[in-house]
Amino acid sequence: MTPQNSGAPVTRPEPDAPAGLAAPTSHRARLSEWIDRRAGTFFIMPAVVMILIFSIFPLVASLVMSVSRIRLRAGGYKVSFVGTKNFEKQLFGSEQFHFLGTFREISLLGWVVMVLAALVLVWWLYRYVRSQFWWLGFIGRLITANLAFAIVALAATTLLSGNNFGTLGTTLFYVFVGCSIQFIIGLGLALLCSQQIRGRNFFRVVFFIPLMVTPIGIGYAFRMLADTTKGPFSIVWQWVGLGDFAWSTSAWAARSFIIIGDSWQWIPFIFVILLAACENIPRDFVEAAEVDGASQRQIFLEITWPQILPVAVTVMLIRMIEAFKIVDLPNIMTSGGPGIATESMSLHSLFAWRSLDLGQSAAISYLLLFVTVVVCVSFFNIIVLQRVRQT
């Protein structure tokens, strides 16, 4: 059983027969071949170069600026090295009230909370050391614990002691309180819309709209809405006796006001993704549970929640990263006021830049970057990796 064609002469009577590609001969073909061989480089280089130039270089330059004093001179800048002075000024010096807050006297409650927090964190570290130990993991946890303590201490010494807090506290307020509210409402709406209700598509389209509106527009729109004399709710204001109430005088009102604006814009984001996650749960799971006689609450706790948890965690991580950068809304709605009550760190840095204090501006933005990274990495490590380790 030999193949019929063995030994057939290898000639090609039809020269234009489209057989294999010949080795490239023309210049163009050779060029395209050369490029193809280096495809890996060509594919990734644009992104890498762009990031290096517009992200890494500015990052380094900003670091340099944060340890410098920069003065505008005719036709250029004068840069002089000042070490950590810029940071010291924010953390301990004349700007401390602005960045961290004022620490006049610390109330008993403040002390109690601080001591409790310290104990909890030490216990947490101790438990880690006892159960497993890896020096990098320990250092990471140490940083997390220190930052957590710093945050609690900041809250205890300002908020709980009746002192004003600075832009750091305000930013953390926006991040933690704002994100929690947005998550709860976003999740609630997603759960409602994942039910088989009438007009589902209408609601999901409408709920998505705020994400498409420019933040600065939202800022001004909410300013109009909140106007106590000419805004649409002025009647309500007058009725409750706040007709001459001014947003610009109440710190907490102003902060809540900004969180409302921020939530209006960002709940849609959380809603859309959590809704997709809910709808992605296989129908049989829920139906099987219903057949087994599970209540709605049980279905949520046993099926829906575990299924959407990974998505929820990631969404919150993204949302937190973006929330740390909040700047447009406080800038437009309150200009950071009253005083510095609604000023976020981004806005603080922006104001410093406006007053041409570039070194301070860079130092603040670096502090912001530091806090963002530590909080987000801690969140990621503690929540996401915890789950990975468990499963």
Partner 1 sequence: MTKSSPDYQANQSLYARLFEPQVIGKMPVGTQILVYSALVIWTLFVLFPIYWVLITSFKDIADVNGGPYFLPWIDFTPSLHAWKELFVVDYEDTLTAYMNSIIIALASTLLCSMIGSMAAYALARIEYKPKFGTIALFVVSMILASIAVGSYGIDWKIAVAVALAIFALMARGLSRRFTRSVGNGDILFWMISQRILPPVVVVVPIYMMFQQLHLLDTHIALILTYTVVNLPIVVWLMYDFFVSIPKDLEESAQLDGATRFTTFWEIVLPMARPGLAATTLLVMILAWNEYLLALFISTSNAQTMPILVAAMNAGERGILWWSMSVVIIVMIIPVVAMAIVLQRFISKGVLLGAVKG
Partner 2 sequence: MSNTKTVSTAKGLVIKDLNKSYGSVHVVKDLNLDVLPGEFLVLLGPSGCGKTTALRMVAGLEEVQSGSITLGDTDVTTMPPKYRDVAMVFQSYALYPHKTVAENIGFPLKMRGIGVTEREQAVREAAQQVHLETLLERYPRQLSGGQRQRVALARAIIRRPAVFLMDEPLSNLDAQLRGFMRAELKHMQHALGVTTLYVTHDQIEAMTLAHRVAIINDGALQQLGTPREVYNDPANLFVAGFMGSPPMNFIQGEIENSRFQGAGIDLAVTGVADNGKTTLGFRPEDAEVVDAGQGLFDAIVYAAEMTGEQTLVTIELDETYFVIKMPKDFETDIGSQVGVRFAAEHGYLFNTGSGTRLRNCAVVMV
Kindly tell me which residue out of 17, 21, 108, 240 binds partner 1, with binding defined by CB under 8 A.
21
Q: Is the Cβ of residue 13 or residue 76 nearer to partner 2 in the bound state? A: 13
| Residue 175 identity (one-letter amino acid) | V
Selected binder of partner 1 within 8, 17, 209, 240 (CB under 8 A): 209
Single out the residue of 141, 190, 358, 360 in contact with partner 1 (rule: CB under 8 A): 358
End-to-end CA distance of the chain: 58
String of DSSP letters for 46-94: HHHHHHIIIIIHHHHHHHHHHTEEEEEETTEEEEEE-TTHHHHHHHTST
Task: From 313, 312, 330, select the one nearest 260 (Cα to Cα).
Answer: 330
Q: Are 174 and 320 in contact (CB under 8 A)?
A: no
User: Interface mask (CB under 8 A) for partner 1, residues 231-270, using x and -?
Assistant: xxxxx----------------------------x---x--
- Give the binding site for partner 2 (CB under 8 A): 1-14, 17-21, 23, 36
The interface partner of residue 161, options being partner 1, partner 2, none and the CB cut-off 5 to 8 Å by kind, is none
- Distance set, CA 360 to CA 89, 164, 330, 347, 363 (Å): 8, 21, 20, 13, 5
Of 10 and 136, which has the nearer Cβ to partner 2?
Answer: 10
Please count the CA atoms within 13 angstroms of the CA of 180 that sit on its side-chain side: 5
User: Smallest distance, Å, CB 375 to partner 1?
Assistant: 10
Between residues 13 and 241, which has the closer beta carbon with respect to partner 2?
A: 13
Yes or no: say if 33 and 26 are a contact pair by the CB < 8 Å rule.
Answer: no
14-31 CB burial, b ≥16 within 10 A, e <16: eeeeeeeeeeeeeeeeee
Q: Which is nearer to partner 2, 19 or 47 (CB)?
A: 19
Q: Which does 14 bind (CB under 5 to 8 A by kind): partner 1, partner 2, none?
A: partner 2
Outline where DSSP puts E strands in the chain.
68-73, 76-81
Considering only the stretches 82-90, 117-125, 222-230, 244-252, report the one whose residues sit in contact with partner 1 under the rule CB under 8 A.
222-230
Near partner 1 by CB under 8 A: residue from 195, 355, 390, 391: 195
Print the binding letters for residues 60-99 with partner 1: x by CB under 8 A, - otherwise: xxx-xx-------------x--------------------
Q: Is 295 in the site for partner 1 (CB under 8 A)?
A: no
150 burial level (CB within 10 Å; 0-12, 13-18, 19+): middle
In the list 109, 119, 224, 242, the residue contacting partner 1 (rule: CB under 8 A) is 224
Name the minimum Å distance from CB 7 to partner 2: 7
Q: 13 vs 83, which CB is nearer to partner 2?
A: 13
State both tokens at 26.
């023309």
Which of the ranges 91-99, 116-124, 174-182, 194-202 carries the binding residues for partner 1, by CB under 8 A?
Answer: 194-202
Beta-bridged to residue 70, according to DSSP, are: 79
Our CB check for partner 1 shows the closer of 13 and 46 to be 46
